[in-house]
């Protein structure tokens, strides 16, 4: 039988052999990234998968996990009053702190984007609170907001206003935490300042030719060009608000008081995990939080096309 000549098709069908040089480069690359891969598997992937399993169990660290299925989730949603109190506190904080932080950061960034002498000093002053550790900031504000001898109440008395209970008053505890959160807007401020530098000058020149004043240029030129940055800070702020923990923990000494007004979701999760050793229950709380944050983030991304403008994008 005559031997068929090799055609281009049969040649392509042959598997290509990897040369020893490619194998050596691949091996060296894997060896170089092995520490990172091991760390990713041991400290990230395994804890995530383990927490998913523990959320379906009754686990107190001391004894072996006992599989209970969706019982932890059912208890959270239908039998735990503290769960809904923590959710309400967290949503209240997020609904006010996030927009307020964005508005303050944008306004201050617009002021700091002008050509004024000593502007670098002003920028540093506004940025400094954001690099202060959360625990140090909480201790500082615990003195400033002290009902008896705090500086804030002293200033209120000087201008003829009554003293406020702040962290000891259930009505004012969350507003006090929102005030502290807005005080540390420096990270958002820096991002907005960088975005303002990228606003094309020809847009302002065109607005000047049309007779627009400063307010009109800010509303019709600056803010639309800042929408991608607003979108970015909105997503980060939302994720951070739903994980709000350190300041509330320090100022309430872990109790979530007064009267549960500062019992945020992350604080309740911490108490279930490390005070009551209900690790399975806390893992279920963590996965519910992940689902909620993922859903809200998805909604923000899906609706961003209606209000976020990217330069160069076709209408």
Evaluate whether residue 174 is within a structural domain.
yes
256 φψ region: left (φ > 0), alpha (ψ -120 to 50), beta (else): left
Q: In degrees rounded to 5, what are phi and psi of residue 57?
A: -130, 170
23-37, 43-57, 266-280: least confidently modelled range: 23-37
Query: Distance between CA 38 and CA 18 in Å, rounded?
Result: 26
Rounded to 10 degrees, what is the CA torsion of 100, 104, 105, 111?
Answer: 170
Residue 57's domain spans which residues? 21-72
Query: Distance between CA 265 and CA 273 in Å, rounded?
Result: 12
The mean per-residue pLDDT over the stretch 75-83 comes to 95
The mean per-residue pLDDT over the stretch 52-62 comes to 94
62 and 99 both lie in a single domain:
no
Q: In degrees rounded to 5, what are phi and psi of residue 228?
A: -60, -40
- Looking at residue 8, its pLDDT comes to 53
66 and 114 both lie in a single domain:
no
65 and 28 both lie in a single domain:
yes
- Choose one of 30, 46, 72: the last residue of a domain: 72
For residue 114, what is the DSSP state?
S
The residue count of the chain comes to 315
The mean per-residue pLDDT over the stretch 138-151 comes to 91
pLDDT in tens, 271-301: 999 999 999 999 999 999 999 999 999 999 9
- Looking at residue 116, its pLDDT comes to 79
28 and 173 both lie in a single domain:
no
25 and 158 both lie in a single domain:
no
Evaluate whether residue 164 is within a structural domain.
yes
pLDDT in tens, 116-136: 788 889 889 999 999 999 999
- Choose one of 45, 72, 99: the last residue of a domain: 72
* Helices 81-112, 186-197: inter-axial angle, 10-degree rounding: 40
- pTM for the complete prediction? 0.87
213 and 87 both lie in a single domain:
yes
Query: Distance between CA 22 and CA 26 in Å, rounded?
Result: 6
- Looking at residue 3, its pLDDT comes to 53
**H or E element in which residue 29 lies:** helix 20-40
Evaluate whether residue 50 is within a structural domain.
yes
Q: Is the pLDDT of residue 7 over 90?
A: no
**H or E element in which residue 57 lies:** strand 57-58
Evaluate whether residue 267 is within a structural domain.
yes
Evaluate whether residue 103 is within a structural domain.
yes
130 and 221 both lie in a single domain:
yes
Q: Is the distance from CB of 218 to CB of 109 less than 8 angstroms? A: no
44 and 128 both lie in a single domain:
no
Evaluate whether residue 292 is within a structural domain.
yes
Banded model confidence at residue 25, pLDDT cuts 50, 70, 90: confident
- Choose one of 42, 72, 102: the last residue of a domain: 72
Reference 231, options 109, 102, 101; nearest CA is 102
Q: Is the pLDDT of residue 15 over 70?
A: no
Segment of 16-25, 95-104, 246-255 carrying the highest mean pLDDT: 95-104
- Looking at residue 175, its pLDDT comes to 94
Q: Is the pLDDT of residue 14 over 70?
A: no
Percent of the chain residues topping a pLDDT of 70: 94
Write out the E strands in 47-158.
57-58, 66-67
42 and 142 both lie in a single domain:
no
- Looking at residue 22, its pLDDT comes to 84
Evaluate whether residue 11 is within a structural domain.
no
Average per-residue pLDDT in the chain? 90
50 and 185 both lie in a single domain:
no
CATH number of the domain enclosing 257: 1.10.3720.10
40 and 93 both lie in a single domain:
no
Evaluate whether residue 197 is within a structural domain.
yes
Banded model confidence at residue 315, pLDDT cuts 50, 70, 90: very low
Tokens of 192: 């907005």
Query: Distance between CA 107 and CA 91 in Å, rounded?
Result: 24
Q: Is 94 helix (H, G, I), strand (E, B) or coil?
A: helix
- Looking at residue 5, its pLDDT comes to 55
27 and 89 both lie in a single domain:
no
- Looking at residue 312, its pLDDT comes to 60
Structural domain count, the chain: 2
């Amino acid at each position: 039988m005559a031997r068929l000549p090799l055609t281009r098709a049969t040649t392509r069908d042959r598997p290509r052999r990897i040369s020893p040089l490619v194998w050596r480069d691949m091996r060296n690359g894997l060896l170089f990234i092995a520490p990172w891969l091991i760390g990713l598997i041991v400290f990230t992937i395994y804890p995530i998968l383990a927490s998913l399993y523990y959320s379906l169990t009754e686990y107190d660290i001391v004894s072996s996990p006992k599989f209970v299925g969706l019982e932890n989730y059912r208890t959270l949603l239908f039998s735990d009053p503290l769960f809904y109190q923590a959710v309400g506190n967290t949503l209240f904080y997020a609904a006010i702190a996030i927009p307020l932080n964005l508005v303050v950061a944008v306004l201050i960034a617009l002021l700091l984007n002008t050509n004024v002498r000593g502007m670098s000093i002003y920028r540093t002053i506004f940025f400094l609170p954001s690099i202060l550790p959360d625990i140090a900031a909480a201790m500082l504000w615990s003195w400033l907001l002290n009902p008896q001898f705090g500086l804030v109440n002293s200033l209120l008395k000087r201008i003829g206003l009554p003293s406020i209970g702040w962290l000891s008053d259930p009505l004012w505890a969350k507003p006090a935490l929102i005030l502290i959160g807005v005080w540390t807007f420096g990270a958002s401020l820096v991002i907005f300042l960088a975005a303002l530098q990228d606003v094309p000058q020809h847009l302002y020149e065109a607005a000047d030719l049309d007779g627009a004043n400063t307010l009109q240029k800010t509303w019709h030129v600056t803010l639309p060009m800042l929408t991608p940055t607003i979108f970015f800070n909105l997503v980060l702020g939302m994720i951070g608000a739903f994980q709000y923990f350190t300041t509330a923990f320090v100022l309430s000494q872990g109790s979530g008081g007064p009267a549960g007004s500062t019992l945020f979701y992350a604080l309740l999760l911490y108490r279930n995990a490390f005070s009551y050793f209900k690790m399975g229950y806390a893992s279920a709380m963590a996965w519910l939080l992940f689902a909620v944050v993922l859903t809200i983030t998805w909604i923000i991304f899906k609706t961003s096309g209606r209000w976020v403008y990217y330069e160069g994008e076709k209408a």
